[in-house]
């Protein structure tokens, strides 16, 4: 009889402890919202660079922008950038041109590099690719004018799309620098 009570008590303890342990254990599932970082991982220039001002179209936030038809884009709320596109473009320029103070929109002297990001999206209408379009005023250095690049992605996986956008950001920085 004692063995039955002992077994019953262990069973009750196990039934109570198991759900509690599940609540305390770390979650292994991938979170619903994933965040991606296309910034360069190699060291950038350390000398002083030009002053920067980067702005973007109002629909360009941290959500991935996916072009699904010639005249249709959707915002992907499950995949986000680590920072808004303006900060990512600025980081790419600082990496290529050197560190400088960024400027508020109202303060843009003629010597500043000014970038107006018009498109920061993934085109999924055919083979997946990252698309970056911007208008650049160069403040007397490198190139200026409209810039557009499309970089192919190995697949539609968010990691591969991020690699393609990293290549597009690097291409913009090289173009602005004038290489």
Domains of the chain: 34-177 (3.40.50.10610)
User: pLDDT at position 18, please?
Assistant: 46
Cβ partners under 8 Å of residue 32, min gap 6: 78
* C-alpha span between 33 and 47 (Å, rounded): 37
Q: If the chain, 179 residues long, is cut into consecutive pieces of 10 residues, what is the mean pLDDT of each piece?
A: 53 48 52 85 73 90 96 95 94 82 54 89 97 88 87 96 96 87
pLDDT of residue 23: 47
What number of other Cβ atoms are within 10 A of residue 126's Cβ? 6
145-152 vs 129-137, strand pairing mode:
antiparallel
What is the C-alpha to C-alpha distance for residues 17 and 121, in angstroms, rounded to an integer? 48
pTM over 0.85: no
Per-residue pLDDT, 1: 54
The C-alpha atoms of residue 91 and residue 164 are separated, in whole angstroms, by 16
């Amino acid at each position: 009889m004692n063995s039955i009570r002992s077994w019953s008590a262990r069973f009750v303890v196990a039934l109570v402890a198991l759900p509690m342990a599940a609540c305390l254990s770390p979650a292994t599932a991938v979170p619903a919202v994933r965040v991606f970082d296309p910034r360069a991982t190699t060291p950038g220039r350390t000398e002083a660079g030009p002053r920067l001002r980067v702005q973007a179209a109002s629909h360009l936030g941290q959500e991935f922008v996916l072009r699904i038809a010639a005249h249709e884009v959707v915002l992907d709320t499950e995949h986000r950038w680590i920072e808004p596109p303006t900060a990512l473009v600025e980081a790419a320029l600082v990496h290529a041109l050197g560190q400088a103070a960024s400027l508020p929109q109202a303060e843009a002297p003629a010597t500043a590099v000014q970038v107006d990001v018009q498109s920061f999206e993934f085109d999924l209408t055919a083979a997946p690719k990252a698309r970056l379009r911007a208008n650049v005023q160069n403040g007397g250095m490198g190139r200026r004018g409209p810039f557009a690049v499309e970089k192919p992605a190995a697949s539609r996986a968010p990691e591969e799309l991020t690699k393609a956008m990293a290549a597009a950001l690097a291409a913009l920085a090289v173009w602005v620098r004038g290489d």
